[in-house]
Amino acid sequence: MSRGCTCRPGLPIAPARPIPEGAATQQESAGLTQSVVPILLSGGSGTRLWPVSRRSFPKQFAALTGDHSLFQASALRLSGPRYGAPLVLTGADFRFIVTEQLAGVGIVPGAVLIEPAPRNTAPAVLAAALHLAAADPDVMMLVAPSDHVVPDAEAFGRAVDRGIAPARAGRIVTFGIHPTRPETGYGWLELGGESGAAPDDPAPLRRFVEKPDAAAAEAMLADGRFLWNAGIFLFTARTMIEAFERHAPDFIAPVRASLQAARPDLGFLRLDPEAWDSLPDLSIDYAVMEKAGNLSVVRFADHWSDLGGWDAIWREAQLDAPAWRGVVADARSTAIDCDDVLLRSDDENLQVVGIGLRDTMVVATGDAVLVADMNRAQDVRQAVTALKARGIRQAERFLRDHRPWGWFETLVMGERFQVKRITVHPGAALSLQSHVHRSEHWIVVSGTARVTVDGKVTLVTENQSIYVPLGAVHRMENPGKVPMVLIEVQTGVYLGEDDIVRYEDVYARS
């Protein structure tokens, strides 16, 4: 599996797309009179899927179960006649990944809001509601994490249809998944109302249930009145703003101030950090949902997963056909006399071999290996915490770093030198910059580079090289139509990425 994605400048913010010609009739036949705006939350870190998911490139942007990333699959699932242009909330580090991945599946966002700092889902949802309410307070919003797996998009769309009427009437609609096992890694929902109600009818929510222990999960599975909490919500912007005013009023002023002082930036909308930083780190469940009395639940009986651990990846791989002896192994992995194991290598040069393993997951990348009991999948985040406490880079960062112009990865690092492979997308350019502590030697191995060094412009083609002295003001561009790849050799007393003085940057990075 390749973790790479192409990244380029942000797409311009566009108004919500009109319903395509012919789609209005389809919506009206389903009892709908307006499109639903998907709100894609894509700022999480996904620590339970370490080492493939890390803070610098979390799981939603990785292709964990198919050719598309989870973020792309979510955007595709929530596109079509039912839906308007998505509104995306993400962090500054991911803004170009978001727009590039959307462009890769032909989706133009309605807006991309940049959160100044992670503050969980409550501020993000309120910011989206206030932003959309400025144009239409009664716009229908569907808040969805961008890292879920729902293979049958049409079945989920029909579930959304069933939630439209109660949402239009002022209810907050959540989606409950029909449970298939006593899962302890999910929160649950307890349904209220008459037991004889039709399964497709929205039901009142009696209460949220925190992630249970095994015995409680078994009891809820047997009871029949409990569903998994998918964390997906449908409501109008007006309804959500009123819910915050009633249950979490302290959020209103800071989020509104952050929106009012927001500034456009290359097609993104950067929320103002001063007011945002005063907000508490709180989920929408705790801030509003568990206090509100106007919640309804739409039941969803088709397949769904939040891929909350490597055990979920193992189960997903066996959906179409159960693996022989429960062995799930990719093309770079070999299992010998193993049962119920996951073997995975994300590095084309690294082979994983398991012998005589039982109930085990082994996940390898180019710089880290996870070996754990399958039943301890929810504890993988403890590894991230332990590595962070020791200051280990692999806790949060990959060898490969994504940038708006492409990516680079470190091949060799020594005390006073570093060797990198750099890939620059067609038409992309690095910033005009200089370094205080290092010089650089560039060797082009594929494509053509346009290099500026102290005002002199040179075209450097394959098998040619150029030297950038310490302190020289320089820039690298790819003027061609294919990716440009070069090897960079750095030498100096300090080789950190913060040794960059930027003079010009087409991506508006400071």
pLDDT tens, position by position, 297-314? 999 999 999 888 999 999
Residue identified by tokens 């150029």 is: 466
Q: Any idea where the domains of the chain sit in the sequence?
A: 34-300, 310-389, 400-504
Contact 476, 434 (CB under 8 A): no
Q: Region 349-371: what's the mean pLDDT?
A: 96
Q: How far is CA 329 from the centre of its chain?
A: 25
- Bridge partner residues of 410 (DSSP): 420
Residue 24: the pLDDT is 35
Q: What is the DSSP string of 411-424?
A: EEE-SSEEEEEEEE
Taking the model in full, what pTM does it have? 0.84
Give how far Cα 115 sits from Cα of 109, 120, 218, 222, 233, Å: 16, 10, 39, 41, 20
Specify the CATH class of 400-504 in words.
mainly beta
Q: Superfamily assignment of 34-300 in CATH? A: Spore Coat Polysaccharide Biosynthesis Protein SpsA; Chain A (3.90.550.10)
270 Cβ neighbours under 8 A, 6+ residues apart: 92, 114, 116, 262, 263, 264
Distances (CA, A) of 108 to 72, 187, 280: 12, 33, 31
Distance CA 420, CA 489 (A): 7
Q: Give the confidence band of 510 by pLDDT, cuts at 50, 70, 90.
A: low
Is pLDDT of 249 > 90? yes
Cα 162 to the center of its chain, rounded Å: 27
For 52-74, what is each residue's pLDDT tens digit?
999 889 999 998 888 899 999 99
pLDDT digits (tens, 9 = 90+) for 130-152: 999 999 999 999 999 999 999 99
Chain CA centroid to CA 300, Å: 23
The Cα 420–Cα 399 span in angstroms is: 10
Write the pLDDT tens digit of every residue in 449-465: 999 999 999 999 999 99
